[in-house]
Amino acid sequence: MTSTQQPPAPDGSESTSPLAGTGLPDPSGTRIVLIGAGRFNELHQLPATRRNVEDLADLITAAWNLPVANCTVLRDPASPRDLSRAVEEAAKEATDTLLVYYAGHGLIDWSGHFHLAVRSSERESVHDTAVPYAWVKEHVEKSRAERRIVILDVATPPAPSGCSPTPPSLRWREPTSSPRRARPPPRCHRLARNSPRSQARY
């Protein structure tokens, strides 16, 4: 019988992950949140989002050898708290890679702030029926994960009449490393795609 020994880490310590040095995320420290918001009480329906997140979950878990428990698939969240809780928990648990994917409607409130829609969201009351993107961004930035990625695949309805929307920031604040950990600062990425059928506002 032959045994395979993992090569030592660059600092001389023994590697603890079979994927160390491959460039792939460490499954044990990776958390994925895939949100498909397609059913709405008031907004236009987006039925394809459910299949999109299911296919994406199968692809990522297979390609990254990721335990199913580390990949949260949230279909048609009913309330803002349903969505925010999933992101919050994943952000706290991730240490290697954090990926948040949202497919659905992007909404703009009367102050011009960008939100992610859920089933109960209302266009005339965005501020308290949808999830502020700034909140999602803040919790992702605070995560200990080395790599943090947010992907938005959104359809954006027109802003409320008389509102001049402010485009959501495409820049992350430059992260700083903790003095207790001698490592490079985490890398943050944000990708956004606006539906060709909707108004491009950012």
- Answer whether residue 150 is part of any domain: yes
Share of the chain above pLDDT 90, in %: 61
Q: Which residue has the higher pLDDT, 111 or 33?
A: 33
| Helix axes of 80-93 and 133-142: crossing angle, nearest 10 degrees | 10
- Answer whether residue 145 is part of any domain: yes
- Answer whether residue 18 is part of any domain: no
Work out how many domains the chain is built from and give that number.
Answer: 1
Give pTM, 2 decimals: 0.73
- Answer whether residue 9 is part of any domain: no
- Answer whether residue 167 is part of any domain: yes
Give the separation between CA 57 and CA 70, rounded to whole angstroms. Answer: 10
SS3 87: helix
pLDDT value at 61 more than 60: yes
pLDDT one-digit tens code per residue, 69-126: 999 999 999 999 999 999 999 999 999 999 999 999 999 998 889 999 999 999 999 9
Span of 26-35, 141-150, 163-172 with lowest mean pLDDT = 163-172
Give the separation between CA 127 and CA 104, rounded to whole angstroms. Answer: 17
- Answer whether residue 16 is part of any domain: no
Domain range for 74 is 27-194
Helix (H) or strand (E) holding 191: strand 187-194
Residue owning tokens 């994927």: 19
Rounded to whole angstroms, what are the CA distances from 107 to 118, 183, 201? 10, 37, 11
pLDDT value at 67 more than 90: yes
At residue 137, the pLDDT reads 94
At residue 156, the pLDDT reads 73
Rounded to whole angstroms, what are the CA distances from 129 to 33, 44, 169, 182? 21, 16, 21, 41
pLDDT value at 56 more than 50: yes
CATH of the domain at 63: 3.40.50.1460
